[in-house]
Structure 1
Amino acid sequence: MTMSEIESEPTESRAETAAEEALRPHAEQAFADELAALAAADDRPRPARWRLSPWAVATYLLGGTLPDGTVITPKYVGPRRIVEVAVTTLATDRALLLLGVPGTAKTWVSEHLAAAVSGDSTLLVQGTAGTPEEAIRYGWNYAQLLANGPSRAALVPSPVMRAMAQGMTARVEELTRIPADVQDTLITILSEKTLPIPELGAETQAVRGFNLIATANDRDRGVNELSSALRRRFNTVVLPLPATAEEEVDIVSRRVDQLGRSLDLPAVPDGMAEIHRVVTVFRELRDGVTADGRTKLKSPSGTLSTAEAISVVTGGLALAAHFGDGVLRAGDVAAGILGAVVRDPAADRVIWQEYLETVVRERDGWKDFYRACREVSV
């Protein structure tokens, strides 16, 4: 399609085409049919400006079957009570902090909560060590500022400011990576529900429906610890690692299947045996003990999270599709596992070699996996 053809298309058509062609559509785009079906079937009370009731939001995340037979796929596999607490928090005046080790689906849950509650998950501030105060408050269009001075027209609202004005859900990712003085910009917003604009002698007050979801990693607590004043403004929900291997396999297979369809990769069912093995390796090294509890293991420096398992399997499927016979095999995931486990070349390589020789080598039915891992570990 040429640029002239694109420009001549209706705006709605261009938006639909862009969503279909996007490598990773936003949650509200990817699951638009499910959200619409839930809205049609939802007859329960909804908080102000919510697209769905709290019950429907929880159903969207956890999955279920509607009275008309529509199947809602699970977005989060874990304790139901965690999702219920997160959803009800957003229905109150307290902000939500999703806390957990890397790879526990904090960003994923945050995005889907915002999509279900507000129909828009894009009001996002990505936290980094260089995040400025303007990313949370507001900035200025300097051309207009120099020409006409401070005015509403020259002001550039942040995603948080826009969410306040529209009664929507804002998201702040990796809150503990943001400098402490910038973090504290949120205190007035979350306590007074207002954002002062001293340059104009004005303010933006949050309208009903506004709330904020932040995420933070357990391992990042020492980067920029939250002040006690800010922490009090949040209701903290800890997202745990999957409780069982079966649960983690289910999460990995579902997510890989979604990614695979967008990348035209082989079907996941053909690789379930390797998914089981990847999850087993990750869980054993992460827990420091084999699945049967008989052998103690040393844990490497990496997190070996569910998200990393998804990445390893997706990379393996790509290898199988483009350089193999389309079936996921041990050789397709071996290099990915090595890269995930051996982050510290000195210490982690010793741990990996010991695991291969004392556990993998002796395990029935894992000879092909052992050989593949040995080949890439040399």
Structure 2
Amino acid sequence: MTTSQSTTSTAIDTKIEAVLRQHAEQQFAAELAELSKIDTRQRPPNWKLSPWAVRTYLMGGQLDNGFVVTPKYVGNARLMEIAIATLATDRALLLYGIPGTAKSWVSEHLAAAIAGDSTLLIQGTTGTDENAIRYGWNYARLLVEGPSEKALVVSPMMQAMQDGKIARIEELTRIASEVQDTLITILSEKTLPVPELNTEVQARKGFNVIATANNRDKGVNELSSALTRRFNTVILPLPSSIEEEIQIVDRRVASLGKALELPAEKPALEEIRRVVTVFRELRSGKTIDGKTKIKSPSGTLSTAEAISVINNGLAMAGYYGDGELHAGDLAAGLTGAIVKDPVQDRVVWLEYLQTVVKEREGWKDLYRACHEVL
């Protein structure tokens, strides 16, 4: 490598390190490279890894050479196997569940492991139109030259078809029904007609689509039966046990804390356990021991929100406290996550504090801190 090449490489590495959140294929490049090196199993056409290696990347494990792959998804391995196997067929994958169940996270890591590129993303909103899925036009060139390949603006979907990669669609049910149906020809015929140029894009082997949707949007823009048939749906549940959820929160807090360079110490598992316990009890409408029924607030109180509460507490502890996470650092974030409706949710939260938190051994500090911010 020449001096100029070395300098350029160093500059690129520095730029990547300065990014707040790297793409999965950048952040876990070493793991993907190690898996590729030892992966001798059959790979579907144009896949970077075999289905076995993709599963190992997602679920984690120790390789025969001693290299440790960190888990990206903590939960039912069979769900990941179904998702990976689906992407090896001609059916698209729909990841479905309540907000905060790692749908986007799993989607990104699947694309990173299979195609080596998780960036071909279409964000679904009420304003998403057909151009976002099919293609658009550079209108300045279109007026001068008329329809031409140079005037064509390639969408992430078209790019994925041309390259044989994975296209990702976030919040599919937020997109209007008539726009959703643009996908039917793409998913069934694996072609994207461009009538203005009297041509079409035919998908290369390796192309597929991962879409996500959450059940809070049920009834907003339901998928047509024709489109539903072209997806295999995998429902991602909330963590089945408190220990599983604590593990997820602990891992993600450590990862995000490092990226954000928070000056606080790593939180004790006991503080994470308290936040997760509060969220699980309020979600389920009863205490962990099942002895006391409680009211649930209007929000989802997902694992992702628990991670956010802990990180907010670490920021408070690092910048305004002694660097160690205490109840006072958690109180504002915890209350903000739970009280979405200032009237109904406040009543629910006050009742929970009074009947559960106040009476629980070792939780008096949390009770006092939360009362102070209400």
The TM-score range, normalised by the shorter chain, is: over 0.9
Structure 2 equivalent of residue 355 of structure 1: 352
Offset, 1:262:
1.1
Deviation of residue 89 (structure 1)? 0.4
Q: Give a deviation string over 1:345-378, Cα, whole Å, max 9, x none.
A: 111100000000000000011011111111111x
Q: How big is each residue's C-alpha offset from its partner over 1:236-258, in whole Å with a ceiling of 9 and x where there is no partner?
A: 00000000011000000100000
- Alpha-carbon distance between aligned partners in 2 of 1:11 and 1:149, rounded to the nearest angstrom: 39
Q: TM-score, normalised by structure 2?
A: 0.97
Matches of 1:321 and 1:298 in 2, distance apart?
33
User: Quick check: 1:22 aligned with 2:19?
Assistant: yes
Q: CA deviation at 1:272?
A: 1.7
What's 2:288 paired with?
Answer: 291
- Structure 1 position 131 matched with structure 2 position 119: no
Q: Does the aligned pair in 2 maintain the 1:64–1:72 contact within 8 Å? A: yes
Matched, 1:334 2:323: no
Superposed CA offset, 1:102-160 (max 9, x none): 00000000000000000000000001111111000000111211111101111111000
* Aligned residues of 1:100 and 1:216 also touching (Cα < 8 A): yes
Aligned with 1:68 (options 62, 65, 68): 65
2:194 aligned with 1:200, yes or no? no
What is the deviation of 1:296?
Answer: 0.6
Shift of 1:22: 0.4
Q: Secondary structure of 1:293's partner?
A: coil
SS of the equivalent of 1:97 reads strand
Checking the alignment, whether the CA contact within 8 Å between 1:257 and 1:268 is kept in structure 2 is no
Q: Note closer, same or farther for the CA distance 1:345–1:213 as it changes in structure 2 (3 Å cut).
A: same
Tell me, yes or no, if structure 1 residue 92 matches structure 2 residue 86. no
2: CA distance between counterparts of 1:8 and 1:115?
Answer: 26
Change (3 A) 1:8 1:28: closer
In the alignment, the residues of structure 1 paired with residue 218 and residue 245 of structure 2 have an alpha-carbon distance, to the nearest angstrom, of 25
Matched letter for residue 77 of structure 1:
V
SS in 2 for 1:170: strand
Asked if structure 1 preserves the Cα contact closer than 8 Å seen for 2:25 and 2:117, the reply is yes
CA contact (8 A) 1:271 1:329 kept: no
Residue 67 of structure 1 and its aligned partner are, at CA, apart by 1.1
1:311 matched to 2:297: no
- 1:267-286 to structure 2, matched below 5 A, reads 269-286=266-283
Partner of 1:219: 216
Structure 1 pair 291/268, CA: closer, same or farther in 2 (3 Å)? farther
Which residue matches 2:110? 113
C-alpha distance in structure 2 between counterparts of 1:82 and 1:249, whole Å: 20
CA–CA distance in 1 between the matches of 2:106 and 2:309?
21
Matched, 1:168 2:126: no
Q: CA deviation at 1:182?
A: 0.8
Q: Secondary structure of 1:98's partner?
A: strand
Report the Cα distance in structure 1 between the residues aligned to 2:5 and 2:288, rounded to whole angstroms.
60
Structure 1 pair 267/119, CA: closer, same or farther in 2 (3 Å)? Answer: farther
Give the alignment partner of residue 318 of structure 2, picking from 318, 321, 335.
321
Change in CA separation of 1:41 and 1:11 when aligned onto 2, cut-off 3 Å: same
Moved more, 323-332 or 261-270: 261-270
For residues 14 and 92 of structure 2, what CA distance do their matches in structure 1 show? Answer: 35
- Partner residue of 1:179 out of 166, 176, 181: 176
One-letter identity of the residue aligned with 1:197: V
Counterpart of 2:251 in 1: which secondary structure?
A: helix
**Aligned residue among 224, 242, 257 for 1:245:** 242
Deviation digits for residues 57-82 of structure 1, max 9, x if unmatched?
A: 00000000011111000000000100
User: What SS does the aligned partner of 1:171 have?
Assistant: strand
* Identity across matched positions, percent: 67
Number of equivalenced pairs = 371
| Structure 1 portions without partners, runs of 5+ | 1-6
- 2:193 partner SS: strand
Q: Any idea what SS the aligned residue of 1:99 has? A: strand
In 2, the alpha carbon distance for the partners of 1:154 and 1:13 equals 36
Partners in 1 of 2:18 and 2:232 — Cα distance? 37
Contact 2:130/2:182 (<8 A) preserved: yes
- Quote the Cα distance in structure 2 between the aligned partners of 1:297 and 1:239: 25
Q: Once the 2 structures are TM-superposed, how far is the Cα of residue 18 of structure 1 from its aligned partner?
A: 2.2
Match of 1:146 in 2: 143
Q: What is the Cα deviation at residue 46 of structure 1? A: 0.5
TM-score, normalisation: structure 1: 0.96
How far has the Cα of 1:206 moved from its partner? Answer: 0.4
Map of 2:227 onto structure 1: 230
Residue matched to 2:186? 189
Q: CA deviation at 1:17?
A: 2.5
The runs of 5 or more residues in structure 2 that have no matched partner are none
RMSD between superposed Cα atoms in Å: 1.4
The match for 2:35 is 38
User: Using a 3 Å threshold, how does the CA distance of structure 1 residues 269 and 107 change in structure 2: closer, same or farther?
Assistant: same
Q: What secondary structure sits across from 1:153 in the alignment?
A: coil
- Whether the aligned pair in 2 keeps the contact of 1:61 and 1:74 (CA below 8 Å) is yes
Aligned 8 A contact 2:60 2:70 in 1: yes
Equivalent position SS for 2:307:
helix
CA contact (8 A) 2:264 2:315 kept: no
Residue identity opposite 2:351 in structure 1: E
* Structure 2 CA distance for aligned equivalents of residues 90 and 172 of structure 1: 14
SS at 1:144's partner residue?
helix
